[in-house]
Amino acid sequence: MTPDPESVSIYDWAVTANLQPEPISVEVWRNLSEEFCRQVELVNGQVVRCEKPSGAHQAAAARITAMLDTAAEAHMERNPGTCLDTNSDFDVLLWEVPAATIRSPDAALFDCAPNDLRPLPASHLKVVVEVVSPGSRKADKLDKMAEYADAGIPFYWLVWLSGDHALSIDVHVLDHTLGYYRLYRTLSPEQETSTIDVPIRIQIDWNRLAHLVRQ
């Protein structure tokens, strides 16, 4: 079969010389450029290229992060001495042995950590969030769900999109005895707001999760 001319670059690239020479360790990861790390994740030491997110995906992640941050600030005000933080599209170290696995969740709530702690150990995370895109459905629902559970992250949210709005949010809680997530609750925009009280009180403003792409 004659290759499609538009795919010739792939055939040019797919040569032995371009194979990853060895598994990437956490130490190596810390020395890689941030530009490179933003485009990939690490699964058992092997680089996996990330799908380029859509505008709706990016907007949903940013607005969910903002809601988590508002909840964190309110929780710290009610509970002096606690310190919570939030972030989006950052490095999380799930495990280092036998080979490092580093994921970049769309949003997360976690215990405060030094700014130079990179990648952030999964033990700091309380909630990890993935926005499901057509191309990420299998990874988010199967691969990452199993990995986040294995890393011991207590809560895993899946945000389901349809076009330019969020359809629902599945909140999963880790069953520590069995080592996997159970569906705890599904939040949906039937009401303007949804409030969930674990691990802290978090309010979802569904109006902010509609019209994710402004035109």
Q: Where are the domains of the chain?
A: 5-49, 55-90+103-209
More confident site: 3 or 112 = 112
DSSP state of 150: H
Residue range 55-90+103-209 forms a domain whose CATH class is alpha beta
Predicted pLDDT at 96: 97
Distance separating alpha carbons of residues 187 and 183, to the nearest angstrom: 11
Give the CA distances from residue 112 to residues 76, 166, 170, in Å, rounded to whole numbers and listed in that order.
11, 28, 25
pLDDT band (50, 70, 90) for residue 136: confident
Distance separating alpha carbons of residues 192 and 205, to the nearest angstrom: 6
Share of the chain above pLDDT 70, in %: 96
Residues 6+ apart with CB under 8 A from 174: 149, 152, 153, 154, 155, 156, 180, 181, 182
7-51 tens-digit pLDDT: 668 888 889 988 999 999 999 999 999 999 999 999 999 999 998
Please, what is the average pLDDT of the chain?
A: 93
Name the pTM for this structure. Answer: 0.92
Distance separating alpha carbons of residues 212 and 164, to the nearest angstrom: 5
Residues 6+ apart with CB under 8 A from 54: 133
